[in-house]
Amino acid sequence: MSLPGAPHVAYRGADLFIDDVRLSDLAHRYGTPLYVYSRTAMLDALSAYQRALSGRDHLVCYAMKANSNLAVLQTFAAAGCGFDIVSAGELERVLAAGGDPAKVVFSGVGKTRAEMAMALDAGVLCFNVESEAELEVLSTVAVAAGRTAKVSLRVNPDVDAGTHPYISTGLKGNKFGVAHDRALATYRRAAALPGLEVEGIDCHIGSQITDSGPYLDALDRVLDLVEAVEAAGLSIRHIDLGGGLGITYTDERPPAADALIAALLARIDARGHGHRKVLFEPGRSLVGNAGVLLAEVLYLKPGEAKNFCIVDAAMNDLMRPAMYEAYMGIVACTRRDAVPQTMDVVGPVCESGDWLGRDRSLAVRPGDVVAVLSAGAYGMSMASNYNSRGRAAEVMVSGHEAWLVRDRETPAELFRGEHLLPAR
């Protein structure tokens, strides 16, 4: 029996497996907290995008902020993926994983001069520019480096993605992108500035979107602009529709990636733009359902108002519940024949916001291992060292095989680079 949204995570008898590997075995071998990913699940998710785009001039740029482990990047690079990056650090990871810089788009509202220079030097495909001020600085940096920066303007289509306010990015009040009514003037400015070459247009309206309506609305707004920009004598080579497709955490029913893309391509063709290259920047939908976070039950703490199940993973390992009140499924890795109890699953961190799940029905005892489901995206990549907790180890599974792809962080690693004051 597989679990919501995650066909690669399933019970066989009493035991929970990812691919053909028993999760409790991994917990015992590598310790907990432990992130575990299915490589097959990641490649299956990517192939839905690639299938829908085959026969088109296209590029899928994995938004690596969702999960930037080198083995994840290596997997996607080998499958032909490009990358959407938001920092020089992410660019260094792409290069270390064998990714092709010519398939990298550089997003983000606050790129520094040093980051621009490094990306120009590496030869990225384009800069997704988010403001007029950034355009001016990029021109200066490119001229100083004796290079041409290809630019795509990230436009803010003012479309409501219908998602959590913290992950909605395409509304007028958000910090992202160039306002729709300033876009034409900004393209003219880009064309006039030295060191820049207009390449494309992009938008990204938010994350965990479960309906195709907002995508189609944003696409129409983007195509209106493409037509206006070209009528002004500038040419746009590619259209980048960002990422944002949601996944199933519980009962969400997002469109399948191939169905969404088919609908978008049909609209692009119907409006006479079928000759253009199309880009997508999916993050969550490529990795979210491919991963779980394993934790050991430390204590059960019954109470008058609430029962607590205290586990060894915490908000520093997985921020989504604390940050967005996000629901993550939590199940036992070995099912027990016992009456389940309703309890809050919480971590050891000294914050009341440190919870992973509320009012969950679980039959577990101390020493058991639980799996937090759909934790492959914005899990490890958002982890911190709060409470001086080392970050979790990570394992990649494929079929029967499992590889440790990140060591557990040690306390000494945490304070490496800190200095005591001189003794008096």
Site track for ligand PLP across 259-278, x = CB under 6 A:
--------------------
Question: Nearer Cβ to ligand PLP, position 30 or 62?
Answer: 62
Closer residue to ligand PLP, CB minimum distance, 21 or 247: 247
Select the residue interacting with ligand PLP from 87, 207, 289, 381 (CB under 6 A): 207
Q: Which of 157, 195, 214, 244 binds ligand PLP (CB under 6 A)?
A: 244
List residues bridging with 126 in a β-sheet.
Answer: 105
Out of 177, 242, 329, 357, name the contact with ligand PLP by CB under 6 A: 242
| Nearer to ligand PLP among residue 242 and residue 347 (C-beta) | 242
Residue closer to ligand PLP by CB (options 172, 365) is 172
The site for ligand PLP, by CB under 6 A, has a size of 15
Q: Does 99 bind ligand PLP (CB under 6 A)?
A: no
| Range 40-79, binding ligand PLP (CB under 6 A) | 63, 66
Q: Please, which residue, 34 or 63, has the CB nearer to ligand PLP? A: 63
Other Cβ atoms less than 10 A from the Cβ of 353: the count is: 12
Pick between residue 200 and residue 242 the one whose CB is nearest to ligand PLP: 242
> Is residue 333 among the annotated active site residues?
no
Q: What are the beta bridge partners of residue 268?
A: none
Using CB under 6 A as the binding rule, whether residue 204 contacts ligand PLP is answered as yes
Considering the complex, what minimum distance in angstroms separates the CB of residue 61 from ligand PLP? 8
Catalytic residue among 61, 203, 333, 350: 350
Q: Residue 163 CB, nearest distance to ligand PLP (Å)?
A: 9
Q: Which of 200, 254, 283, 390 binds ligand PLP (CB under 6 A)?
A: 283
Tell me the C-alpha distance between 365 and 334, whole Å: 11
With CB under 6 A as the contact rule, the residue among 282, 329, 357, 376 that binds ligand PLP is 282
Mask for 75-94, x = binds ligand PLP (CB under 6 A): ---------x----------
User: Is residue 284 a contact residue for ligand PLP (CB under 6 A)?
Assistant: yes
Active site residue ranges: 350
Give the residues lining the site for ligand PLP (CB under 6 A). Answer: 63, 66, 84, 107, 204, 207, 242-245, 281-285
